[in-house]
Amino acid sequence: MTGIKSIEDLRALKEKALLGLKQRETSNKPYIVVGMGTCGIAAGAREVMKAILDELEKRHMTDVLVSQTGCIGLCAKEPLVDVTLPGQPKVTYGNVNEAKARQIVAQHVVNGQPVYEWAINVVEAK
C-alpha cells in the first residue's frame, strides 16, 4: 500500500468518495458481511476485513457494501463471511483467513463465481 496519509491526499480522494456515494444510492450492489463478535475478532476477523477492504480498494470497487455483524452462534467456524450478489444466493464462508478473503473477493465478488469448496451454507435468493 502506498503512503496516502496527508490531508492533501485525503482532499484528493474527496471527489471520488462523493461520486461513490451517488453510485451507491442508485445501483443494486454486492453485499459483504464479516462476523465481528468476540469470537470472530479472536479468530482473525479484523485481518479478514482489512484484506477485503484492501482488495476492494485496489480495484476501486466503491459500489460494494461492506458491513459487520455480531456473533451468530457458529463460533467454531469463525471468521465467517457472507457474500450476496444482487439476485444471487447468499453464500456463507467459514474459517476464512486473509488469503481466502482475497480470493473470495476476486472470484466471487468480482467474477461472480462462488468459491463453493469454502462455503458452509448457501441460502437461495428470495
Is the dihedral angle over the CA atoms 46, 97, 65, 124 positive or is it negative?
Answer: negative
Residues 46, 98, 103, 106: which binds other proteins (CB under 8 A)?
Answer: 46
Residues 28, 60, 111, 126: which binds other proteins (CB under 8 A)?
Answer: 60
- Could you give the CA distance from residue 124 to residue 122 in angstroms, rounded to a whole number? 6
Least gap, CB of 117 to other proteins (angstroms): 26
- Could you give the CA distance from residue 97 to residue 122 in angstroms, rounded to a whole number? 19
* Cell numbers 456515494: residue: 21
Residues 27, 42, 107, 120: which binds other proteins (CB under 8 A)?
Answer: 42
Q: Who's near 41: CB < 8 A, 6+ residues apart?
A: none
Residues 31, 72, 110, 119: which binds other proteins (CB under 8 A)?
Answer: 72
Is residue 27 part of the contact set for other proteins (CB under 8 A)?
no
- The answer to whether residues 19 and 53 touch, using CB atoms and an 8 Å cutoff, is no
Q: Which spans of this chain sit near other proteins (rule: CB under 8 A)? A: 1, 3-5, 7, 9-11, 13-14, 16-18, 20-21, 24, 36-39, 41-42, 46-47, 49-50, 53-54, 56-57, 60-62, 65-68, 70-73
